[in-house]
């Protein structure tokens, strides 16, 4: 039995026809009024009499009275009926030929005893049009504006309405199966979803539905993706909005949108409202910018009241995300508003592998691809970075004209994402290449001779990004804290390139290539003194980075809470730590000049050395000869599986040692 086609229901157009009908009737009445005024002006005064006939009737004393309208029109009444064009006329009107004959005609009328009056001429049809049309346009404008404000569509003048978008079931869904690397956050959010689906299970013991959940974490860790997954898993109405959507130039609009958003939520309760980047509206009040009546603060006040004010707001869960929890107002973070704060941090090695598997589902992979090795080689990368690695690997494979993505494509993608794009078109002189080779070799010598440092994975003198050379270290496992010995070793490694330049070329020949190394070493030494308590002279006192002047949300700048004496001691300690690191690097490289020369020669010959080749040079073994096909391409054979670089992007300079960033 065939299915009958369903008829599409006709839209009710009565509401649209009513305003149009009223407008047509209004126009008809306006035109009728104008026509009436025009006909009245033309018919007033009886029959038309020529100026010559009027002159003759005045001379025969047959004109009783006249009325001048302006300078060129005369209306009047005859004493006796006059036959004009076979019509008997008692009242008449005459169009004077010019304004100059008015005085002459007036003298003639006075001589014959005619009663004379005068009045200004009435307005014509043009005057009526110009006086009535603006009124009509003003009334039409107000009718249109009221209709626009009362309608439910995205029309003008709806400033106070919320811009939240209701996620419909037809929208492509993202579920928790598409999210990896944030297992704890998923558990927290799954409990919220179960609470929405089965409230009696939790409320039977006195529990209540959480009012707010705040997702906190660095950029790119998947906070918005988790919000989309909640929308796909909840099975309840889900409203999505950005924190910047509350901000408007008109006063009171932000607070109005907050109230309208929660009114929509109450109408669909129980439901979830997701606000991305809530720090745009939830910053700390009283920051000294904009005064106490700042529009943003009024919007925040409305949000605080709607979340937990005098009136209960049941059945609406506010899910928000931010990467700046330090600037949020304390009243917004308290329990009762945001009952839970879910930390979405950078993934560990297991989480990175799961993220890679999620993104690699869409890629045709070769059998040699081992995602676990790629995960171990990408410490510090966020979910967004790993997604970019998979995308770049697919693009590299497409450029090669193959049908599947191989391990070498992932290796090149990691190099591009973490270190920058190779700049082989940048031509260096022989002197620059030699200086860069010794600079990077100095970093490698310190890395292999100082115990406890991360193994060097790759060193290259091929320009990448804004650096002329790079030395990349690969940790054997994820680090969550660092020892004092490790930090001192990193300082020595950062000075290794500068020391190699000094020993090989002399102090007069050193270049600006170590500028970024010195800057990073200074910042690390200052944190050791001011934040980590790793100075015997300063002790366990958090001095703070007083030189930074940034807007913190609570005040415009960060004040220095230490005396000038303490600040001077801090500077002296930082200088001492840097001098000791520089002297340590000089002693190590001076004792290993032959290894420094071997590494520099190998870099000049091959441009890039991997961890195996570096280990062979350290052990005094000769490197295998280069293959000719790779010499034509200007680079070595594909990297070993599992090779990787740290997540820190290189800065401008001659070379850059790339250890993992220190904590904090």
Task: Give the closest residue to 503 by CA, choosing from 561, 585, 564.
Answer: 585
636 counts as catalytic: no
Given 75, 306, 392, 440, the catalytic residue:
440
CB 659 within 8 A of CB 473: yes
> 3-class DSSP state for residue 443?
helix
- Find out whether 211 and 307 touch, Cβ atoms under 8 Å: yes
For residue 586, the SS3 value is helix
**How many other CB atoms are found less than 10 A from the CB of residue 358?**
18
Record the tokens describing residue 331, joined without a space: 């009243």
Q: Could you tell me if 634 and 449 are in contact, meaning their C-beta atoms sit under 8 angstroms apart?
A: no
Measured N-to-C along each axis, helices 430-449 and 593-606 cross at an angle, to the nearest 10 degrees, of 130
Burial class (CB in 10 A: 0-12, 13-18, 19+), 20: exposed
Helix-helix angle 484-505:430-449, to 10 degrees: 150
Angle of helix 611-618 versus helix 430-449 axis, rounded to 10: 80
| Residue 91: closest CA among 68, 69, 63 | 63
Edge-to-edge strands, sheet with 340-343: 165-167, 238-242, 271-276, 316-322, 212-216, 340-343
For residue 482, give the 3-state DSSP assignment. coil
Q: Tell me the C-alpha distance between 384 and 405, whole Å.
A: 19
SS3 sequence, 510-577? CCHHHHHHHHHHHHHHHHHHHCCCCCCCCCCCCCCCCCCCCCCCCCCCCCCCCCHHHHHHHHHHHHHH
**Residue labelled with tokens 């690390």:** 524
Q: What are phi and psi of 397, to 5 degrees?
A: -65, -40
CA distance 278 to 223: 12
The neighbouring-strand residues paired with 322 are: 216
The percent helix, strand, coil of the chain (3-state, each to 5) is 50, 15, 40
Which residues on neighbouring strands pair with residue 610, listed in sequence order?
Answer: 458
DSSP per residue, 78-106: EEEEEEETTEEEEEEEEE-S-TTHHHHHH
Q: What is d(CA 116, CA 591) in angstroms, rounded to the nearest whole number?
A: 129
In the three-class reduction of DSSP (H, G, I as helix; E, B as strand; rest coil), residue 120 is classed as: coil
Active site residues: 440
């Amino acid at each position: 039995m065939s299915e009958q086609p369903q008829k599409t229901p006709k839209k009710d157009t009565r509401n649209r026809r009513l305003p149009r009908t009223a407008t047509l009737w209004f126009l008809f009445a306006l035109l009728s009024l104008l026509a009436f005024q025009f006909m009245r002006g033309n018919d007033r005064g009886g029959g038309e009499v020529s100026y010559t006939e009027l002159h003759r009737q005045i001379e025969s004393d047959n004109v009783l009275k006249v009325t001048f309208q302006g300078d060129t029109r005369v209306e009047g009444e005859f004493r006796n009926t006059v036959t004009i064009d076979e019509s008997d006329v008692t009242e008449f009107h005459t169009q004077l030929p010019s304004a100059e004959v008015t005085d002459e005609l007036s003298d003639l009328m006075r001589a014959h005893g005619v009663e004379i009056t005068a009045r200004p001429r009435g307005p014509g049809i043009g005057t009526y049009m110009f006086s009535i049309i603006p009124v009509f346009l003003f009334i039409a404008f107000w009718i249109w504006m009221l209709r626009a404000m009362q309608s439910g569509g995205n029309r003008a003048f709806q400033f106070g309405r919320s811009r939240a978008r209701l996620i419909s079931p037809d929208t492509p869904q993202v579920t928790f199966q598409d999210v990896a690397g944030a297992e704890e956050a998923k558990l927290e959010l799954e409990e919220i979803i179960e609470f929405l689906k089965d409230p009696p299970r939790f409320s039977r013991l006195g529990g209540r539905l959480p009012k707010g959940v705040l997702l906190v974490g660095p950029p790119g860790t998947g906070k918005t993706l988790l919000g989309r997954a909640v929308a796909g898993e909840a099975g309840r109405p889900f409203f999505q909005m950005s924190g910047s959507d509350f901000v408007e130039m008109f006063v009171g609009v932000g607070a109005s949108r907050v109230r309208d958003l929660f009114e929509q939520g109450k109408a669909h309760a129980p439901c979830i409202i997701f606000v991305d980047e809530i720090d745009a509206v939830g910053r700390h009040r009283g920051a000294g910018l904009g005064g106490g009546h700042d529009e943003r603060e009024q919007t925040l006040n409305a949000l605080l009241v709607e979340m937990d004010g005098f009136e209960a707001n049941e059945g609406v869960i506010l899910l928000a995300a931010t990467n700046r929890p330090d600037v949020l107002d304390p009243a917004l973070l308290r329990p009762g508003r945001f009952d839970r704060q879910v930390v979405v941090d950078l993934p560990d090695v297991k989480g990175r592998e799961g993220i890679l598997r999620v993104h690699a589902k869409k890629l045709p992979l070769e059998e040699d691809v081992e995602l676990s090795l790629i995960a171990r080689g990408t410490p510090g990368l966020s979910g967004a970075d790993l997604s970019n690695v998979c995308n770049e690997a697919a693009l590299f494979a497409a450029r090669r004209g193959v049908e599947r993505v191989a391990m070498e494509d992932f290796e090149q993608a990691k190099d591009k994402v973490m270190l920058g794009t190779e700049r082989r078109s940048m031509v260096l002189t022989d002197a620059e290449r030699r200086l860069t080779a010794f600079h990077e070799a100095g970093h490698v010598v310190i890395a292999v001779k100082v115990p406890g440092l991360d193994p060097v994975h790759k060193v290259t003198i091929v320009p990448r990004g804004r650096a002329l050379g790079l030395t990349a270290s690969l940790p054997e496992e994820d680090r969550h804290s660092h020892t004092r010995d490790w930090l001192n070793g990193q300082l020595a490694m950062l000075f290794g390139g500068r020391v190699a330049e000094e020993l090989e070329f002399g102090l007069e020949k050193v270049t600006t290539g170590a500028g970024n190394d010195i800057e990073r070493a200074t910042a690390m030494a200052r944190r050791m003194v001011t934040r980590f308590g790793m100075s015997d002279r300063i002790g366990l006192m958090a001095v703070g980075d007083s030189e930074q002047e940034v807007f913190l949300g609570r005040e415009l700048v960060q004040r220095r809470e230490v005396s000038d004496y303490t600040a001077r001691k801090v500077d002296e300690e930082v200088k001492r730590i840097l001098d000791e690191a520089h002297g340590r690097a000089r002693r190590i490289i001076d004792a290993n000049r032959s290894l420094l020369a071997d590494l520099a020669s190998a870099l000049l010959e091959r441009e890039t050395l991997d961890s195996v080749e570096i280990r062979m040079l350290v052990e005094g073994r000769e490197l295998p000869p280069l293959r000719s096909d790779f010499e034509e391409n200007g680079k070595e054979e594909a990297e070993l599986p599992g090779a990787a670089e740290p997540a820190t992007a290189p800065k401008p300079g001659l070379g850059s040692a790339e250890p993992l960033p220190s904590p904090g």
